[in-house]
Amino acid sequence: MTTSTPQAEFWRGEFGDAYTDRNAASAEQMQARIALWADILARTISGPPKTILEIGANLGVNLRALRQLSPARRLAVEPNDKARAVLVRDGVVAADDVRGGLASHIDFPDGVADLAFTSGVLIHIHPDHLPQSLKEIHRCANRWIGCIEYFSDKPEMIPYRGHEDRLFKRDFGGLWLDSFPDLRIVAYGFAWKRVTGLDNLTWWLFEKR
Ligand SMILES: C[S@@+](CC[C@H](N)C(=O)[O-])C[C@H]1O[C@@H](n2cnc3c(N)ncnc32)[C@H](O)[C@@H]1O
């Protein structure tokens, strides 16, 4: 069982703390996230999620947006202590509903959330640990799986704020479908920076059959 990787320690440590400090959920950022999630949630109309789990939530930009759009109970996994404290302090997630740890070892039971998702997190997991991480997210999702990440046609590592081996892009949607035959694609889209202010994010929504 791998509970520590160079990538995870990077996020648990000073880099993750500084990221959390500068990741203020500004009004513009929140507006853009709310619009993105309104679009994604609209696709779950046949069974709106009553519980939503974000893996790698940081201080909860997504969960704060979801709080405005859905009465669902919010759950979070986040390895950075400081970010977890902010999630609880700001009432984004109840203290009992937050876990430390990594996507590869999620301390929640099978099917705990109707919707489980990542946003800007799979890109920070070393490719060797992706299969176990997807397996855990899939295990925790009762019905819907969301994925909001940077897309690249071919797997590639790109330097991240001057660091090597900390950001890996690929076709994450394809990886999800190729890894789990029980998934069907419900919808996908692109949040173009010029229009949305979001960082050219590709999103996918899957449903377990
Ligand atoms: C770029 S931030 C994205 C935060 C948030 N999801 C968002 O969209 O604003 C990446 C977050 O994932 C967390 N993280 C990094 N590696 C992780 C892993 N293996 N499992 C779970 N979370 C991880 C980091 O601590 C950080 O809070």
In sequence order, the 6+-apart residues with CB closer than 8 A to the CB of 141 are 53, 111, 113, 114, 115, 116, 208
Helix (H) or strand (E) holding 115: strand 113-119
174 pLDDT band, cuts 50/70/90, is very high
pLDDT digits (tens, 9 = 90+) for 33-61: 999 999 999 999 999 999 999 999 999 99
Q: Is the pLDDT of residue 192 over 60?
A: yes
Ligand 1 centre distance from Cα of residue 137 (Å): 14
DSSP 8-state code for residue 100: -
Ligand 1 centre distance from Cα of residue 56 (Å): 4
Residue of minimum CA distance from atom 19 in ligand 1: 102
11 lines ligand 1 (CB under 6 A): yes
Task: Tell me the sheet residues that pair with 163.
Answer: 160
pLDDT digits (tens, 9 = 90+) for 99-131: 999 999 999 999 999 999 999 999 999 999 999
* CA nearest neighbour of 192 among 62, 36, 58, 23: 36
Q: Is the pLDDT of residue 140 over 70?
A: yes
Cα angle 184, 50, 200 (rounded to 5 degrees) comes to: 55
User: In a 3-state reduction of DSSP, which class is residue 166?
Assistant: coil
Residue of minimum CA distance from atom 7 in ligand 1: 119
Q: What domains are defined for the chain?
A: 6-18+48-208 (3.40.50.150)
CA distances to 44, 58, 74, 170, 191 from 77, in Å: 22, 9, 11, 23, 24
Residue of minimum CA distance from atom 13 in ligand 1: 56
80 pLDDT band, cuts 50/70/90, is very high
Residue of minimum CA distance from atom 5 in ligand 1: 57
Average pLDDT over residues 68-89: 98
Ligand 1 centre distance from Cα of residue 18 (Å): 13
Q: Which atom belonging to ligand 1 lies closest to the Cα atom of 7?
A: 16
Ligand 1 centre distance from Cα of residue 70 (Å): 22
25 lines ligand 1 (CB under 6 A): no
pLDDT averaged over the chain?
Answer: 96
25 pLDDT band, cuts 50/70/90, is confident
Ligand 1 centre distance from Cα of residue 19 (Å): 10
N-to-C CA span, the chain: 29
How far apart are the C-alpha atoms of 97 and 53, rounded to whole Å?
9
Cα angle 200, 19, 23 (rounded to 5 degrees) comes to: 65
What pLDDT, on the 0 to 100 scale, is given for residue 2?
A: 59
Q: Is the pLDDT of residue 28 over 70?
A: yes
Amino acid at 159: P
* Burial grade of 113 (CB within 10 A; 0-12, 13-18, 19 or more): buried
How far apart are the C-alpha atoms of 170 and 8, rounded to whole Å?
19
State pTM to two decimals. 0.97
pLDDT digits (tens, 9 = 90+) for 1-23: 557 899 999 999 999 999 999 99
Ligand 1 centre distance from Cα of residue 184 (Å): 25
